Structure 1
Amino acid sequence: MEPQHISRNHFIKSASVLLAGGSGILNVPENVSRERTLPAQNKRSYTLKNVRLETGFEYDPEGEVTGTRTDLFCIEVHEGKIKGILANKPAADAIDAKGLLMLPPFRDMHIHLDKTFYGLPWKAKSAKNRTVKDMIAYEQQIIPELLKTSVPRTEKLIELLQSYGTNYARSHVNIEPTSGLNSLKNLQKALENKKDSFQAELVAFPQHGIYYTKSEGLMKDAAQMDIDFIGGLDPTSIDGGIEKHMDFIIQLALDNNKGIDIHLHEGGESGMKTIQYLIDKVNESPVLKGRTFVSHSFALANLDKGKTEEVAQQLANAKIGIASTIPFGGTIMPIPVLYKHGVDVVTGNDCIVDWWSTFGSGSILQKANLAAQLYGYRTEFDLSRILKLATHNVLPLDDKGSRSWPKAGDPADMVLIEASCSAEAVSRVSPVKSLIHRGNIVF
């Protein structure tokens, strides 16, 4: 995509209104309650009728995409998979989707399900906590009390994500001396309780530093448990150096057959040195390719054009992904350049009503919308493409307009949304009316 950039001031003004809840649907509700569009469905097999699917693009004489064609279909679901996609039969004895658009469900690929005030009375961020080390000290004070109710509050947070069409998350979970392994164990309990409607992959995250708070032993213990990634945190500013911190993470991942997903807020020289160190180490151990991510990676935001292109190509060659919350203001991430070079870009809410930030809405479709505004994706084609940020690269139509999703045999994971097409869904952050996970109708 070749974006037409909008002015930064215009974007910041409009994004601020959006994040403040100006659209009407982005306010964070304390009690998620959705009118059920589809009936509760416990059967292993059923059919949906009047399901709207995208079938192709419309073009003008010059070949520009001007619209998206859709039609109504019947979708057969059996044993958690899509069994068939059939011509629509309005009179069929089937569950009526009422012409709603069916899209792939959304994936929140950077969130902290174990850390939230959600479900508790409102509390804004304290002005006293300015640095990451300030926040570590604050967490050491509040975590013991929060752990007492973390299971039901995590479940409420999952329900919030589901209400916005998310059925999958990559959650970082605290591994540090204050909570020991209890944050992980409590999160696993909440996920077990939601296993029929939600799925997550977990990152063992040394939020208080690996060496700053002597978390090495706990990280080794967590790596033996049911987690998927080894995390890290700002090696230079928290643990005083890159090599020792990163070597520990990399070796732990290799020894336990895990991926890597590190938090890197550091900009400038230390941030870039950490990124380059990780690229080199992944190239030395190709088993980590496709399983390694850098979250935030703010150091990429202030490179010149040539260096940005060079590093993007290096990341692509090493198959290292970038997990970004799509920040705006003074930190504009080079997402279009990363996409251009084939870097796997994922996004997430990160914080939702917690002590780090209160602005996470729970909507990943909103993240695609913010990216569209920030990078100038305005056309029918560009808006339809940036939906991949919300679905982790699953799109109903490929770039040539052929249907690539859904197909028979795919998992029966889908959302029904009040929109005419993907482009409108992104542009309007259209309301999600139903979520289906592995054939289970969540709402």
Structure 2
Amino acid sequence: MQLSRRGILAAALVAGAAGVAAPALAAKMKPAGAKGAEAKGASFLLRGVTLETGYRREGGEVIGTETAKASVLVRGGKIAAILPADAPAPMGVAVRDAKGMLLLPSFRDMHIHLDKTFYGGPWVPPRKRTEGIRGQIKLEQTLLPQLLPTLEERAGKLVDLLQSNGTTFARSQCNVDPVVGTKHVELLKHALDSRADGFGHEIVAFPQHGFVSADLIPTMRAAMAAGATHVGGIDPTALDGGMEKSVDAMMQVALDMDKGVDIHLHEPGASGIAAIRRIADTVEREPELRGKVTLSHAFSMMSLPAPEMEDLAARLAALDMSVASTLPFGTRMMPIPILLDKGVKVYTGTDSVEDHWSVFGSGDVLEKAKLACQLYGWSDEYTISQSLKIATGGPTPLDAAGKQVWPKAGDAADMVLVPAACSAEAVARQSPRKAVFHAGNLVSGALDAA
């Protein structure tokens, strides 16, 4: 069976580049460079931020978003307190001027391939696809060894791009295959560990060329020992030659090594649904896997009638299984509204960002929130506002009832300043990200001293 992501995955718009470095406590607060941030655990008062406080309603309809000015005290990588807008700074604490910009939770890219990118390097002419995914895998067998010496540099530049777009956490798929073995995992982990003050991460050991069919079980175990946080998988029936054997091997490695699971499921129709149900059966038998299993892409869900999809979504929610979708569009669409309605955690990611799979990636998950609004008819203030969870991986300033739930004292100081009146405007107008923080460290943009 041949599969082609070109017919399913859509291109995103190209986004901007990352900010430039400068000392952290000068007149302007600026990121300290590509691999770092300002002093770890730095304290500062962010004055003059706009926070969402509730929805404005007329009858039962949300007709706007209420906001208020405040100051946010950051200490030790966390939000220490939410203070009045004119609150004095504690002794010895620097004050930075947010200039009335809206404060949002920073974004999370939950499906990206940081190890396989041309981004930051010279243009590589894209080649015509042949033989679908199998043809791309053949190409990788010669391409990846050529790219290996520059993997860390290219991954770092891609992280810079993500940070400039407001993303401070990524779950990266990372090739484990007969050609590169565990080298990608080792190099990517080193690159990301060196940036830990400014960027959080998880690594999925991804058996792109097959799990069981490529005899990769020992290599996958070695990848877990090398620092991967999740066991990956690839289309069990279409590419790995046997659904039961492939799924069971993936789940067993995760159980044996106390890791999460994140499987690429491109294959459509009955075989994809059968794989999802077998994975769910294992989670049901092994409760330690609850909350640790993600289905990436899961295109087979597009073929299910609504009643069957509702039943499946309810089961996934009960087992605390999540879905990572790149929000493809075409003649069929992913049933994201059903998944969300049933309580399934839905993540998004930017997947390929300028590589041999696609040269159109932007590295901007806020675009994915806007795309979700366009695909699913989320066109009013309330639904556009709540779509922000697509970009943040869950957190929104206001919950579904309109209660302010972020930011709160004790939250990680992972946040983004945007020139927007509310979340809905930030999503609809794709507001520029003027300052991006991870654990209180400014990693992109600049702020004036107050």
TM-score by length of 1: 0.91
Q: What is the deviation of 1:38?
A: 4.0
Give the 3-state SS of the residue equivalent to 2:237 in structure 1.
helix
Whether the 8 Å CA contact 2:49–2:103 is kept in 1: the answer is yes
Residue 32 of structure 1 aligns with an amino acid whose one-letter code is A
2:294 & 2:14 partners in 1: Cα distance? 30
Return the alpha-carbon distance in structure 2 between the equivalents of residues 152 and 34 of structure 1.
17
1:64 to 49, 61, 65: 61
* Paired residue type of 2:76: E
Amino acid at match of 1:151: E
Q: What whole-Å deviation, never above 9, does each CA across 1:375-421 have from its counterpart, x for those lacking one?
A: 00011111111111111110111222221011111111100011110
Q: For 1:233-252, what aligned pairs fall within 5 Å after superposition? A: 233-252=234-253
Distance of 1:331 and 1:141 partners within structure 2: 34
Match of 1:355, as an amino acid? H
Map of 2:119 onto structure 1: 118
Partner of 2:136: 135
Deviation digits for residues 169-218 of structure 1, max 9, x if unmatched? 11111111111111111101210221110010111111110133222221
Q: Deviations over 1:201-243 (max 9, x none)?
A: 1111111101332222211111223221101000111121111
Give the count of matched residue pairs: 420
In the alignment, residue 264 of structure 1 is paired with which amino acid? L
The structural deviation recorded for 1:71 is 1.3
Alignment match of 2:81 (pick from 79, 84, 93): 84
Aligned equivalent of 1:289: 290
- Measure, in 1, the Cα distance between the counterparts of 2:132 and 2:351: 17
Distance 2:50 2:330 in 1: 37
Match of 2:46 in 1: 48
- 1:325-348 Cα offsets, whole Å, 9 max, x none, are 000013410000001111111100
Q: How far has the Cα of 1:281 moved from its partner?
A: 1.3
Residue equivalent to 1:407 = 408
- Give the aligned partner of residue 32 of structure 1: 18
- For 1:302-338, what per-residue CA distance to the aligned partner results, in whole angstroms no more than 9, with x for missing partners? 1112111121112112221111000001341000000
Identity %: 45
Whether the 8 Å contact between 2:204 and 2:228 is mirrored in structure 1 is yes
For 2:243 and 2:259, the matched residues in 1 are separated by 20
Deviation at 1:55, TM superposition (A): 1.1
* Contact 1:50/1:90, CA 8 A, preserved across alignment: no
Mapped to 1, the partners of 2:265 and 2:76 lie a distance apart of 41
Distance apart, 1:129 and its partner CA: 3.3
Return the alpha-carbon distance in structure 1 between the equivalents of residues 383 and 221 of structure 2: 44
SS of residue in 1 equivalent to 2:239? helix
Offset, 1:359: 2.1
Contact kept in structure 1, 2:15 and 2:364, CA below 8 Å: no
Task: Say whether the 8 Å CA contact 1:38–1:96 is kept in structure 2.
Answer: no
SS of 2:434 mapped into structure 1: strand
- Unaligned residue ranges in structure 1 (runs of 5+): 1-14, 20-25
- Cα RMSD of the aligned pairs, angstroms, is 1.9
Instruction: State how far apart, in whole Å, the 2-side matches of 1:129 and 1:247 are.
Output: 31
What are the within-5 Å matches in structure 2 for residues 272-351 of structure 1? 272-351=273-352
Question: Residues of 2 paired with 1:249 and 1:205: CA distance?
Answer: 11
Q: Residue 314 of structure 1 aligns to a residue in which SS?
A: helix
Would the aligned equivalents of 1:34 and 1:163 in 2 still touch at CA under 8 Å?
A: no
Q: CA deviation at 1:91?
A: 8.2
Q: Which residue of 2 aligns with 1:105?
A: 106
Q: 1:127-152: per-residue Cα shift (whole Å, max 9, x none)?
A: 13341111111000100110010101
Q: Deviations over 1:62-98 (max 9, x none)?
A: 1211111111111111111111110012886721011
Cα distance change, pair 35–152 in 1 and its aligned pair in 2 (3 A): closer
Judge which range, 83-92 or 96-105, deviates more: 83-92
Q: Which moved more, 1:117-126 or 1:242-251?
A: 117-126
2:174 is matched with: 173
Q: Distance in 1 between matches of 2:208 and 2:138?
A: 11
Q: Distance in 2 between matches of 1:389 and 1:328?
A: 16
Contact 2:186 2:227 survives alignment (8 Å): no
Q: Residue type matched to 1:189 in 2?
A: H
- Distance in 2 (CA, whole Å) between partners of 1:151 and 1:346 is 26
| Alpha-carbon distance between aligned partners in 2 of 1:120 and 1:95, rounded to the nearest angstrom | 35
CA contact under 8 A between 2:104 and 2:416: conserved in structure 1? yes
SS in 1 for 2:323: strand
2:227 & 2:124 partners in 1: Cα distance? 32
Contact 1:396–1:406 under 8 Å retained in 2: yes
What displacement does 1:28 show? 4.0
Equivalent residues of 1:264, 1:297 under 8 A apart: yes
Using structure 2 for the length normalisation, give the TM-score.
0.90
Mean Cα displacement is larger for which, 122-131 or 319-328?
122-131
- The verdict on how the C-alpha distance between 1:39 and 1:435 changes in structure 2, with shifts beyond 3 A counting, is same
2:381 counterpart letter in structure 1: E
Task: For structure 2, list consecutive stretches of 5 or more residues without a partner in the other structure.
Answer: 1-8, 23-27, 32-37, 445-450
123-132 vs 295-304, greater mean Cα deviation: 123-132
C-alpha distance in structure 2 between counterparts of 1:129 and 1:433, whole Å: 42
The answer to whether the Cα contact below 8 Å between 2:74 and 2:81 also exists between their aligned partners in 1 is: yes
Distance 1:33 1:352, change over 3 A: same
287 and 225 in structure 1: CA distance in 2 versus 1, 3 angstrom threshold: same
SS at match of 2:416: strand
